Structures are given as C-alpha cells and as structure tokens.
Structure 1
Amino acid sequence: MLHGIKTNFLTDGARSIASLSTAVIGIVGTAPDAPDAAFPLGARVLITDVGKALATIGKTGTLPQALAAIADQASPVIVLVRVAVDAQDQDTVTMAGIDLLLGAEMETGQRPRILGAPGLDTQTVTAHFAGVAKKLRGFLYFAGQGASVAEAITYRANFGEREMMMIWPNWSASFAGDAVARAMGLRARIDADTGWHKTISNVPVTGVTGIAVDVTFDFGSEDTDAALLNAAGITTLVRFAGGYRYWGNRTCSSEPLYAFESVARTSQVLADEIAQGLAWASDKPMTIHLVKDVIETINARIRTYVTQGRLIGGACWYDPALNAEADLAAGKAVLDYDFTGVAPLEGLELNQRVTARYYADFASQLAS
C-alpha cells in the first residue's frame, strides 16, 4: 500500500480536431517526353515544387501545359499520374490512371482533393472520374463540350453529381484543358489564402489573354450567355474591370442542398475531419463520459468554423431513438450532426427609387 500521494494521468475530455490539407491537386495526363525515372508511366508521383517539375517533364502532351497553367495560379502539392498516349483507346488508359489516385494517400501521405484530367476529360472519362471523386471526397473540374451555349447546356445534362463542376468555354489557348487546369490551380490558391468555403467564382485568373468563345455578360441582366449558363449549372468565363474570371458557383448536383461548390466541399471537409479527429475514441470503453466527449469534440470544431466564418452554424447531438439498448451493448452508437454551409452571394437585388423628398429642405440649405 502506498503511503503518500499517487497521481493518475487521465485522458478524459474533448479533443481538438486537426485541419485537413484540402489544396492537394490530383491530375492525370500525358507527357511523352518526360523521363521515366522521374515520371514513370502508370505511377503516382508526388510533386512539391511545380517549377522543378515543369523544368524536367518535357514539352509535349497535356501535363506540361496543365502544370504551367496551375503554376500561374499557385504552387500546390500535386499527386501526378502520367499515362501513355494511346490513339486507339485513350479513354481506357486515362481511366486506369485516374483509378491510381485512390491509393495516393497510402503511398504518398497526401489525399488529392482537387481533381482533373485537363485535355483528356471526354464524357466517358469524366463520368468515371466522378465516381473516383466521390470515393476520395474530392472535387472534379471538367470541360464542357460544345461549340455554342445551347450545346454546352445540353452536354451539362449528362451529369448529376455534387463532386464536380463543369466549365465552358475554354480560355484562348492552344491547350484544350487550359480552363480546367487554371481552375484547379485557382482552387488550390483560394483554399490556401481564404478557405474551402469560398467558391472559385469572381476571382482574377492569372496568365489569361482571352476567351475562346464569345460569352455575353451583364451584371444587371438575366438575358445573357453567362446568365443562361449559370442557370444551367455551368461555370463560365467572363471579363470585366480587374481582369478575367470564372463566373459561377454551381456543382452538377441533382440535390439542391449541394448546389454550391462551397457547400459540397464543406460537407466533404467536415466528414473527413470529424472522422479522423475521432480516431482516439475508437475501441475505448463506451461510457457516458466517452460519448459526451465525442459530442463536445464535434461541437467545438463546429464552433471554431462558425467563428472563422466558414460555417453559418451547426451542432452534434445524441438521439435516443437511434440508439437501442441492444445496439449500445453491441458497441454501436449513432450521433447526429448538421451544419449550414456558407452560400455565396450569388444574386443581389437592388431597389432603385426616384424621389423628390431630398428637395424638402432646399431653402434652408440655401440660407445656411
């Protein structure tokens, strides 16, 4: 028996949840001149310096042009997969490369969350990539197809996933994937500078000299190409004072709750951060104190994001109706949490009135 004082070091209480790195790009493309040692075909390559990668990857294929477009916006961490040029079945080769992104986190320690295959994103490839984006809880940017606004809107109807955004037309560039690549780079820059709760819309884009197709645009009119495209869930390209910009906030989601890019990405971030942040609780004895600590851990994270302006609100709670005695005894518990993401100010309506009331004190103002 101890004759004295013994200190027990307890680990009860809520834990902090660490932030995810959301600005990691996952890109698939071709680069026939790239050295196999640095950029092996069909392999995941972690790039931490885009400039160095550009200096060695060669000049041909989609990857050199895509990396240059990304580098104009930011210098993010990139998980790159180089695929072969296959004139007979490029789609199949590209999709095999896309699948490799699923194992990126286990191999490189980085999960790609900003996704694209600029210049190779046919309808078949895009549909496949959407499924991979869902598994990664990442977000896919892809090029719309069509020579006109009507054709682009028709093409948009092929997709309904929340994890993707269609961009049409292209910037004035020889590279067909330029608008997608620059959107990926801009997304990484916004994530780093502002946060995942801000969409890519209405932010100046670096390195752009023009738009490949005329897109009419007017702040105060719904009768423009840009308004029609946005109404169809397509992000388009515009120019006004301050430079060239992406214009549009919408995902391809068929579920209105996830219509905005910012809300879809908020949902992804919360799901992953909370799940990873609760690893400490897994397999611990399921007591009242443990469940309370888990609830408080989630609520503390939500409060932090509300304070930062990344969430409007949210809460976690325990619902007895979802937790039967037999389930609890079997080691299973269910907690609910909700959130309200930050919607972009997409439509601002101003009421203008003509009035004579400011002449009311005209005489007194003259006298003074």
Structure 2
Amino acid sequence: MHGIKVNERITGTRPIEALSTAIIGLLCTASAADDQAADLEATFPLDTPVLVTDIRKAIGQAGTGGTLKPALEAIADQCSPVLVVVRVAEGDDPEENDTKLIGTVDAQNTYTGMQAFLAAQTQLGFSPRILVAPGLDTQPVTTALLPIARSLRGIVYAQGEGENVADALTYADNFSDRELMLIWPRFAHEFLGDTIARAAGLRAKIDQEIGWHKTLSNVAVSGITGLDRDIGFDLLGGDNDAQTLNAAGITTLIRRDGFRFWGNRTMSDEPLFAFESAVRTAQVLKDEIAAGLAWAQDKPLTRVLVNDIVETIRARFRRLIAQGRLIGGDAWYDPALNSDGDLAAGRLTVDFDFTPAAPLEGLTINQRITDRYYASFSDLVAA
C-alpha cells in the first residue's frame, strides 16, 4: 500500500445496563371446566415456563380451579408485571403434591415442577427474580425453591406457619437462607396463598416505581380487608407481636393507613445480608456487572483493557450512587491477585466492593422537657 491506512480501535468504558428485577416466577396449579380445559392446556402447559406479559388476559385463561387464577388476581391488584408461570399437576395427597411441585431434571434433561424456572432464560429470554408458590409453599416446597433462587439470583417470599407467634418463631428456625423472606400471619382471604401473591405483586411494583434497593416493608398493599388474626403493633416500639417477629427476621402484617407488610429482613444467618435490600443489591450488581462486561471477554489482555474494565464498573457505581440506590462502591486491579502466570494464561482478577443502602429500621427521637422558652415570656405578653 502506498498511502495512509487508518485502523479503528474501540476503547474506553461501556455502559452497564440496568437489570430487570420485577419479574415474578409463579409456581401454581390450575384446572378448568371441560369447555375451557383445552385453552388452559394450550396457554399453560404442565411443567413448562410460560411468559405472561398481559396479566389481565392471563387471568381469563387461568381456569377456575387451583391456585393460578387467585394468585394472578392478587398480583394484578398491585401492578402489571412480567411473569414466568410454571403450572404443575395436582397430586393425590400432600406428599405427592410437594413432589410434583419440586419436580426433577431427568436423564433427557427435561425440567419439571419448579426446576422449569431454571430453563426460563433459555426458553423465554427472561429469568424470574421474585419466586413464589402461593398457597403451595409448604416447608419442603420452600426449602426446595431456595437453591433455585440462588441459581437465578432471586428471592423467595413464603408463608410462615403456626397458630400463634411462638409457632411462627419455631417454624422460622427451619431456615437460614438470605434468599428467603418469611411472612406471618396471613391477610384475611379464602385463598390461602393470597398474602404471598400480594407480596410478589408489591415487590414487583416497588421495583418498577422505586427500585430494588427499597424493601417490601411499610408500603400500602391493595385489595386487603383484614388480617386472619390479631397482631400487636406499636409504632413507638416496645414489647409486642410485630417487634418479636421482626427481631426473629419474620416480616409481619400491620394496619396503619391501610394494610402493610412490616419487616425488612431475610432469614439469613449472615448479618451482612440480614436486610432484603442488601441481598437484592448484591444479586443485581453481580448480574449487571457480569452482563455489562461481556464485551471484554476474549479481547487482548492489555493494560488498556484492564483500565477499561475497572472504569466501566466505577461508572456504574457512580450512576447508582447518584440515583440513591447505593451508598458507595469502587473497583480496582490488585497486582497480588494477578500473577504473571495467570495473566499469560488469560486469567484476570478485578475486585470491587460496595455498600448497600440500609433501610431506616430504627429511628430514635430525643424528647426533652425544659422551661427555657419561658425566658422571654414577659416580653411576649407585653407585645
């Protein structure tokens, strides 16, 4: 060539896109009358993840039996989210029902029951983040759903069990998972899964309108007429049912300017992930940063690339901090973690840390009585 050749080199940071977290994974049963059964089977085939983008239309196709229709109705009272629905056949007894709900992955790599949530991303292009089995979340079902939540980087909302506070505390001792928010008691409704369905709908609504950094607590729930039992509550604290349940990591229900979930905590045995907001922040950052750095995979490992990776993460943190979703965060390259051999083999380690926004769980206001405002009393009277 006789002349000048210009090569285009693309360097610099890349934007990290926000993750869609308001996607509900709904595990359910459903049945329909003979004249509607074919429509139900076609719309919600068994053991298959089905994408729902129009919840009102889905309600009309959900049949009349099982948990699908009332769960969709309770969710729709809160918002209109995207859902991944997995319908499971009802068992002949509670044990068989749990077995069908839990499902398997067989030798042909066919996913059944709740395992079908794991296939949602490849089949539908959507991964559920809010996992619920309203009215079906027995202890075995909830326990089996938690590893799936970890794989999907989602969180499970499940019903606590027991006739009283002491029973609920005993039931909570079965769990130590940061991916679980346990709720007790129930809203007064004939559908036993109504409370959990509304929790999922409200969680999606908060994600849509505020963000994943806001916990479920202290937001009005739509469509509620009462609780299924009395719960002692006092906004000023003290010894009461709500305080006892929250101290054990259980989210409870209160009536104050409407009905609300009250509690910010998961069942985590790790204090750093006690708050629902901390768990979801960690999950979102992990997915957003991984997806946002896909462009760097297989590029030549140079100083420029390393700097671009670090600055890409930092740029995302700056945006999240400006939005009030994160208190702080930073990314850096540590030479001690990147030996010559690792780098030559194409292996790079970049560190980042972050501080999630904690919910204002306890507010202390100091009240004092004083006579100092009488000091100018005579002047006020004279005036």
Above 0.5 in TM-score?
A: yes
Counterpart for residue 315 of structure 1: 330
Deviation of the 1:236 alpha carbon: 0.3
Tell me, yes or no, if structure 1 residue 49 matches structure 2 residue 64: no
Counterpart for residue 191 of structure 2: 175
Tell me, yes or no, if structure 1 residue 362 matches structure 2 residue 369: no
Counterpart for residue 78 of structure 1: 83
Counterpart for residue 292 of structure 2: 277
Tell me, yes or no, if structure 1 residue 28 matches structure 2 residue 27: yes
Q: Structure 1: which amino acid aligns with 2:274? A: A
Tell me, yes or no, if structure 1 residue 254 matches structure 2 residue 254: no
Q: Structure 2: which amino acid aligns with 1:87? A: D
Q: Structure 2: which amino acid aligns with 1:56? A: Q
Q: Structure 1: which amino acid aligns with 2:271? A: P
1:114 pairs, out of 126, 130, 135, with: 130
Tell me, yes or no, if structure 1 residue 264 matches structure 2 residue 279: yes
Q: Structure 2: which amino acid aligns with 1:47? A: V
Deviation of the 1:63 alpha carbon: 1.0
Q: After superposition, where does 1:172-251 map in structure 2 within 5 Å?
A: 172-240=188-256, 242-251=257-266
- C-alpha distance in structure 1 between counterparts of 2:185 and 2:64, whole Å: 24
2:310 pairs, out of 295, 298, 321, with: 295
Counterpart for residue 161 of structure 2: 145
Aligned Cα RMSD in Å? Answer: 0.9
- C-alpha distance in structure 2 between counterparts of 1:73 and 1:62, whole Å: 17
2:99 pairs, out of 92, 99, 102, with: 92
SS of the equivalent of 2:77 reads helix
CA contact (8 A) 1:222 1:228 kept: no
Offset from partner CA, 1:303-357 (integer Å, 9 cap, x none): 1000000000000011111111111111111111000000000000111111000
Tell me, yes or no, if structure 1 residue 13 matches structure 2 residue 12: yes
Counterpart for residue 106 of structure 2: none
SS of the equivalent of 2:41 reads coil
Q: Give the TM-score normalised by the residue count of structure 1.
A: 0.98
2:358 pairs, out of 338, 343, 354, with: 343
CA contact (8 A) 1:65 1:178 kept: yes
CA contact (8 A) 1:32 1:85 kept: no
Q: Structure 1: any 5+ residue segments left out of the alignment? A: none
Q: Structure 2: any 5+ residue segments left out of the alignment? A: 104-112
Offset from partner CA, 1:199-247 (integer Å, 9 cap, x none): 010000000000001101001122110000000000000001x200000
Deviation of the 1:164 alpha carbon: 1.1
- C-alpha distance in structure 2 between counterparts of 1:228 and 1:307, whole Å: 36
Q: Structure 1: which amino acid aligns with 2:140? A: T
Offset from partner CA, 1:36-57 (integer Å, 9 cap, x none): 1111111111100110010111
Counterpart for residue 133 of structure 1: 149
CA contact (8 A) 1:117 1:142 kept: yes
Q: Structure 1: which amino acid aligns with 2:153? A: R
Counterpart for residue 320 of structure 2: 305
- C-alpha distance in structure 1 between counterparts of 2:321 and 2:299, whole Å: 29
Q: Structure 2: which amino acid aligns with 1:24? A: I
- C-alpha distance in structure 2 between counterparts of 1:23 and 1:101, whole Å: 15
- C-alpha distance in structure 2 between counterparts of 1:311 and 1:336, whole Å: 17
Counterpart for residue 164 of structure 1: 180
SS of the equivalent of 2:168 reads helix
Offset from partner CA, 1:96-145 (integer Å, 9 cap, x none): 11110001011001110011111111101101101100000011100001
Deviation of the 1:6 alpha carbon: 4.0
- C-alpha distance in structure 2 between counterparts of 1:227 and 1:98, whole Å: 34
- C-alpha distance in structure 2 between counterparts of 1:103 and 1:250, whole Å: 29
SS of the equivalent of 1:73 reads coil
Identity %: 56
CA contact (8 A) 1:316 1:337 kept: yes
- C-alpha distance in structure 2 between counterparts of 1:178 and 1:250, whole Å: 21
- C-alpha distance in structure 2 between counterparts of 1:230 and 1:364, whole Å: 51
- C-alpha distance in structure 2 between counterparts of 1:110 and 1:120, whole Å: 23
SS of the equivalent of 1:234 reads coil
- C-alpha distance in structure 2 between counterparts of 1:149 and 1:185, whole Å: 25
SS of the equivalent of 1:338 reads strand
Q: Structure 1: which amino acid aligns with 2:243? A: A
User: Is the deviation greater in 254-263 or in 56-65?
Assistant: 56-65
Q: Structure 2: which amino acid aligns with 1:350? A: I
Deviation of the 1:178 alpha carbon: 0.9
